[in-house]
Amino acid sequence: MSQIAKLFKSRFSTIKAIALSSLLMIILLVANLAIAPAWSESVHWGYDGAESPENWGKLSDKFRLCELGTAQSPINIKNLSIGSPANIQFDYRPSPLEIVNNGHSIQVNYAEGSSITLEGKKYALLQFHFHSPSEHQINDQNAPMELHLVHRLISEGDEPNSSNQLAVIGVMLEQGKANPLVAELWKNIPAIGATKKVNIRKINAMKLLPASKSYFSYDGSLTTPPCSEGVKWQVFTQTLTISPEQIATFTRLYPNDARPVQRLNERMVELHL
């Protein structure tokens, strides 16, 4: 090979290496730009100070419904209409324990396979979590705590559904006898921001439901940002008890993680017996 050919080959290899290096830098830059908005758009919210519920709608454009929505939750449940007979079918199965201390509440993520059927529609159980005091009021009264079981629509009759429509079941928690499942959960609460998985321990959310399945229903929203509307709410009429010690364990972490009640705005609240 001539000296000129060797020189050309050497320079070509150098140019090729530089080009590949530049291409890699461009790919990494594009990847970082794609990731950056997710981080930059994260918004902190809470229950006091500048991040309190009355300010949620001002913290982000994505939270505007918290301020402007007309079908918001929670509500003061009173002035009822009598609805159809109570008919929620529960198919809750045991799930490995996965508990999250997310900085707003204690949340338990539920394994796939558990569901409810409501008005002919099937909703999968996604997770349940707790609030103190109760977010809903019944005849102007709060309970010490409230449990929310969150479900997502998966089918309407025989037809599958991929929408994000939610149905939430609320259970008022009164002071009284200790709940064994809550005791198990409280023993496994991780540090704030952490998740703890206990695969050898299975739980069943059926143990968090009262004996009577009568309930109040209304159309509302998420009670946390972004306050999305279109949520089907069912709040049981019968309470469940937890001990004073169990209440204290939660309130030491979250003394107030309840959104105040919102205007009803002519919505109908029905009682299903």
Tens of pLDDT, residue by residue over 73-113, are 999 999 999 999 999 999 999 999 999 999 999 999 999 99
- pLDDT of residue 122 exceeding 80: yes
Within 8 A by CB and 6+ apart from 226, the residues are 60, 62, 63, 65, 66
pTM: 0.84
The Cβ-side half-sphere exposure at 26, using a 13 Å CA radius, reads 6
The answer to whether 78 and 138 have CB atoms below 8 angstroms apart is: yes
Q: How many CB atoms lie within 10 A of CB 137?
A: 18
* The pLDDT value given to residue 7: 40
Calculate mean pLDDT across residues 243-259: 98
Q: What is the mean pLDDT of residues 133-141?
A: 98
172 phi/psi in degrees, rounded to 5: -75, 135
pLDDT tier, 205 (very low <50, low <70, confident <90, very high otherwise): very high
Alpha carbon 130 to chain centroid, angstroms: 10
Distance CA 106, CA 54 (A): 22
**CA distance linking residue 20 with residue 169, whole number of Å:** 56
Question: What percent of the chain is predicted at pLDDT more than 70?
Answer: 84
Q: Based on the number of CB atoms within 10 Å of its own CB, is 220 exposed (0-12), middle (13-18) or buried (19 or more)?
A: buried
In degrees, to the nearest 5, what angle opens at C-alpha 214 toward C-alphas 156 and 184?
A: 90
Split at pLDDT 50, 70, 90, the class of 162 is: low
Q: Is the dihedral of CA 20, 21, 22, 24 positive or negative?
A: positive
Percent of the chain with pLDDT over 90: 80
